[in-house]
Structure 1
Amino acid sequence: MSTRVVAIDGPGGSGKSTFADLLADRLDASIVHTDDFASWDVPLDWYPRLRDEVLVPLSENRSARFRPFDWELGALRDVPIVVEPAEFVIVEGVSSSREAFRPYLSFSVWVETPREVRLRRGLDRDGEEAADFWASWMAEEDVYVRREDPAGKADMVVDGTR
């Protein structure tokens, strides 16, 4: 496997995307967002698609191809995203370092941010009308964190409040 995959994990609103963007600039890496696989209805159980359509092909030095989820349309987009094998590819998003992905990861980062800060960031981005969705989403994330302990298994933990 010539592509080293770096996971940037953490709960919603923790600062994962910001950290991933900074790291991608430094590593000249492309980013795969778990938000292209998740939805409000399926916040965490989308992982087989990312594994099969991105991680497996990259592990075999093949191009990855997937159709991203369009949050506004509520459906997969027609035009696929193609990710070429490279020195580094970043997988960014909630549960990006889950157990099912660990065989494909070279390094994982957990972004730690207090719950109230994360919720405020999410509502600032999505609007106050998304409060019920955020409550449900955060409950799903809590189950993932308790089940898999991603912070405890991370190669690095960073403070998402900075």
Structure 2
Amino acid sequence: MPEQAGHDVVRCLDEVAAREGADRLVVLVDGRSGTGKTTLGNAVADRLGAQLVHLDDLYPGWDGLRAAAEAVVTDVLGGPSGYRRWDWTTSAPTDWVPLDPDAPIVIEGCGALSRASAALASLRVWLEADDDTRWQRAIGRDGEVFAREWERWAAQEAAFIAAEHPAGLADLVLRT
């Protein structure tokens, strides 16, 4: 993550925290695979002392982007706040992970920022990177398994972006 991007997010967080007062701070970090969502999400959650939700834990398999986006609204930010974890090894849902509905929360992953979730967020961030960079990062991180599923996942990302226009919903668009 470039240093300037980090400064932009910190500045926005400070502004949001000042205007939010006692309300729950909700930060959504979205973008296509390999844009740096997890890196930024981790950094923001550490800075805020916030709960962190990785949508990789919610996607119900390789075709589950839309389902996870809906779960952000109904489960993670709904009541009771939490989510059903997905076991990628067994391809089945596992335990319910409860979240504190009053504590600050950072949600990162493709599908975090939708029209429905945008209204529930304090800060909405969209990340962008060129395709070669995204490929190198994603495959370097997840290896051959993701390489086999890249096109399948990219088609879901494209459909989600076309339907929800998350970059247009964002308070901050960063190129990583």
The match for 1:72 is 89
SS in 2 for 1:105: coil
Q: Distance in 1 between matches of 2:70 and 2:140?
A: 31
Query: Is 1:22 the equivalent of 2:43?
Result: yes
The match for 2:163 is 147
SS in 1 for 2:125: strand
Residue of structure 1 aligned with 2:174, choices 154, 158, 161? 158
The match for 1:12 is 33
Q: How does 1:12-161 map to 2 (within 5 A)?
A: 12-38=33-59, 39-57=61-79, 64-77=81-94, 79-160=95-176
Q: Distance in 2 between matches of 1:157 and 1:130?
A: 26
Q: Distance in 1 between matches of 2:159 and 2:74?
A: 23
State the shift of 1:129 in Å.
4.6
Normalising by structure 1, what TM-score?
Answer: 0.85
Q: Number of aligned pairs? A: 154
Give the gaps of 5 or more residues in structure 2. Answer: 1-21
Q: Distance in 1 between matches of 2:82 and 2:121?
A: 18
SS in 2 for 1:121: helix
Give the gaps of 5 or more residues in structure 1. Answer: 58-62
8 Å Cα contact 1:29/1:86 also seen in 2:
no
Partner amino acid, structure 2, of 1:13:
G
SS in 1 for 2:113: coil
8 Å Cα contact 1:2/1:85 also seen in 2:
no
Coordinate RMSD, CA, aligned = 1.9
Q: Answer with 128-137 or 114-123: which moved more.
A: 128-137
Q: 1:152 to 1:47 in 2, by over 3 A?
A: closer
8 Å Cα contact 2:26/2:106 also seen in 1:
yes
Higher helix residue share: 2
Deviation digits for residues 104-148 of structure 1 (CA, Å, limit 9, x no counterpart)? 111100111111111122212222353231111112111222222
Q: Distance in 1 between matches of 2:82 and 2:28?
A: 18
Normalising by structure 2, what TM-score?
Answer: 0.79
8 Å Cα contact 1:4/1:89 also seen in 2:
yes
